[in-house]
Amino acid sequence: MLKCSLSLHPDSRSPVESIEIAVLRDASGPLLLTYHLFGALNRVIFPPARPSLRTDELWKHSCVEAFLAAGSGYYELNFSPSSQWAAYRFDSYRTGMQDLRMPTPLVSWKLEGERAELAVRVELPLDVSGSLGLSAVIEDIEGKRSFWALAHSPGPPDFHNAACFAAELPPAG
């Protein structure tokens, strides 16, 4: 199991104080991601529960993300507290984007005071190669977004940048 923490982008402010993630690959192959959020969560807008459907532009509101290297390209997976999700394949940095066909991930959400947990179980494509980027977008009650990642590239937030792929996917088992 991999345990890590996200850092707030230097240009962001957030009512969230910290985000910790546990990453586990089940022996049968699925990836288990558990994002723990801590802070003044009453000052965060979390999307309400909805049917678990593929939905674009989740990053415009509070959501978590995972980026997985795959050959010369990569995958982007987005998960919302609403249970909506999105999955894309890129040929290279921000080019060749296409929807990734995959089984519907299982997304669960719990919010209790100053602590929240978003857990995801997702089937990985076979060509995932190891480098991993984890991130979150948090929308506050004023409608401002903050950007969290394992590492940030210079300049504005850009989770697609290779500098953000700052971890290695744990082996299955």
Residue partners of 8: CB distance under 8 A and separation at least 6 = 14, 16, 146, 147, 148
* Dist. CA 36–CA 100, nearest whole Å: 26
* Dist. CA 114–CA 58, nearest whole Å: 23
Query: If 0-12 CB within 10 Å is exposed, 13-18 middle and 19+ buried, where does residue 150 land?
Result: buried
Rg (CA), the chain: 15
Q: Please report the pLDDT score of residue 11 as a whole number.
A: 96
Instruction: Provide the 10 A C-beta neighbour count for residue 173.
Output: 8
Q: Please report the pLDDT score of residue 122 as a whole number.
A: 96
Q: Residue 88's beta-bridge partner residues? A: 76, 99
Q: Please report the pLDDT score of residue 127 as a whole number.
A: 79
Q: Residue 16's beta-bridge partner residues? A: 39
Residue pLDDT tens, the chain, 173 long: 999 999 999 999 999 999 999 999 877 779 999 999 999 999 999 999 999 999 999 999 999 999 999 988 999 999 999 999 999 999 999 999 999 999 999 999 999 999 999 999 999 887 787 899 999 999 999 999 999 999 999 999 999 999 999 999 988 77
Q: Please report the pLDDT score of residue 172 as a whole number.
A: 76
Instruction: Provide the 10 A C-beta neighbour count for residue 52.
Output: 16
φ, ψ dihedrals at 57, nearest 5°: 65, 35
Type of residue numbered 113: G
Residue partners of 4: CB distance under 8 A and separation at least 6 = 20, 21, 23, 134, 150, 167
Nearest by Cα to 75 from 130, 118, 33: 130
Q: Please report the pLDDT score of residue 74 as a whole number.
A: 96
